[in-house]
Amino acid sequence: MSWTDERVELLKKMWAEGQSASQIAKELGGVTRNAVIGKVHRLGLSNRVGGTPEPKTKAAEPAPKPEARPAAQAKPARAEAKAQPQRTEPAAPQPTPARKPIIPAGQPLPPQPSAGEISPEALASVREIEKKARRISLMELTERTCKWPIGDPATEDFWFCGLAAQPGKPYCEAHVGVAFQPMSSRRDRRR
């Protein structure tokens, strides 16, 4: 496939939205993430808004390439610093230094089990699992990490399970078990 106008448009759009190269590639189809990254660079929109928060590495370019372009002084200026797109933030009263562009967000997360609704066995197993959870952060979630939330989102005691998720499922095996319980299992154990 080639970089038609439309495809480049979508690329720009998604890249601006903060989508990863692989996601963009998947969306476009017919290209790999490498192709996307390559194109992004060629388009000169490599650095995403905000400057270079990442210390990155290799700041120096020891590559001694004294290639003196004799004929015609090409355009040395390329990726000029044009980092001021600045999205018009409606208002950010809250001192939110760390902004989250957009979260891939897959399936909606189920509500945390409000104790008493699920079987004691399941509850017990979840607690067990939570002790083994990788405690990954939001950014570390991928399509194959368990997205089971643990803790209170409003506090620091919040993280995601992060264990290997079942292919096609948003959670690890254990959490899939407690997340998708047939209603038959919530048999009223009233007494």
Q: Which of residues 124-183 bind DNA (CB under 7 A)?
A: 142-144
Which of 122, 87, 109, 89 lies closest to 153 in space, CA to CA?
Answer: 109
Q: Does 40 bind DNA (CB under 7 A)?
A: yes
Within 8 A by CB and 6+ apart from 171, the residues are 146, 147, 148, 161, 165, 179
**CB contact at 8 A, 147 and 141:** yes
Site string for DNA, 52-91 (x = CB under 7 A): ----xxx--x-x----------------------------
**The CA-based dihedral angle spanning residues 52, 53, 57, 60, taken in that order and rounded to the nearest 10 degrees:** 40
Strand residues in the chain grouped as ranges (E): 149-151, 158-160
Least Å distance between CB 110 and DNA? Answer: 23
Which residue, 19 or 178, is less far from DNA as judged by CB? 19
Which lies closer to DNA via its Cβ, residue 17 or residue 121? Answer: 17
Minimum Å gap between C-beta 154 and DNA is: 24
Q: Which residues bind DNA (CB under 7 A)?
A: 1-3, 20-23, 31-35, 37-42, 46-47, 56-58, 61, 63, 142-144
